[in-house]
Amino acid sequence: MNFLPDDFAYERTTGSDNDSTEKRVTRILDEINNPYIIQWANSLGFRHLSYVKELNKYAELGTKVHSEIEDILKNINSPFYLTKYETPGAYAFYTWVNDKHKQNKKLKVLEIEKSIIGKYFCGTLDCLMQIDNEVYLIDFKTSNSIGYKYYMQLCAYRYLLILMGYEYPVDKMMILQVDKYNPDKYKEFIIDCKTDSDKIDLMTNAFLELVILSYKLDEVRQFKF
């Protein structure tokens, strides 16, 4: 794994990455064009739907799902009970938790919505969870399509955790896709940090190159032609 020159990371003890001057991981990844988004935007145009309105609608839904999942996570180590939630995505996550319990898996939440800030970029990881004896870095997604940018996002978070010398080394990274409409449907996408180390290094290094490119593009955008 390569490291940016003079890079470092530290844990923000107060506030969050929202008040940081560094770029968010998701913003840096937006430098990459997403063909799926372009196709989706075109399909909305054919149906005479507003791209901005639809994008905001799904963004609000994703935020709501994350908020309700966070509430479940806060109670996951207590005697489990079902609170009334508004989104099927939250119930899909509840289904995932119940399935783990049925498999006799021991779940321990280590971090929820943790802000991590480096010299060049920052982000908020959704969850660090110990499942049996392994530590998982988990990101919750409501998207219909799971692409490589989501994996790069997790690699970026893991990179910052390594730099800050975090006490729980990550064994596996998981994208947990919860269905927006079906409360019983979810899908796991797992990367093993040992067996998939080559892929992880490739995605991490690609992200770091993108960090440099993003800052250079900022300089280019200042030019007046």
Q: How far is it, in rounded angstroms, from Cα 26 to Cα 31? A: 9
Residue type, 94: Y
Rounded to two decimals, the pTM is 0.85
pLDDT along the chain (225 residues), means of 10: 78 58 87 55 46 57 85 75 80 92 94 92 95 97 90 96 91 95 93 97 95 89 83
Ramachandran sector of residue 111 (left: φ over 0; alpha: ψ -120 to 50; beta: rest): beta
What is residue 44's predicted lDDT score, i.e. its pLDDT?
A: 38
What is residue 37's predicted lDDT score, i.e. its pLDDT?
A: 38
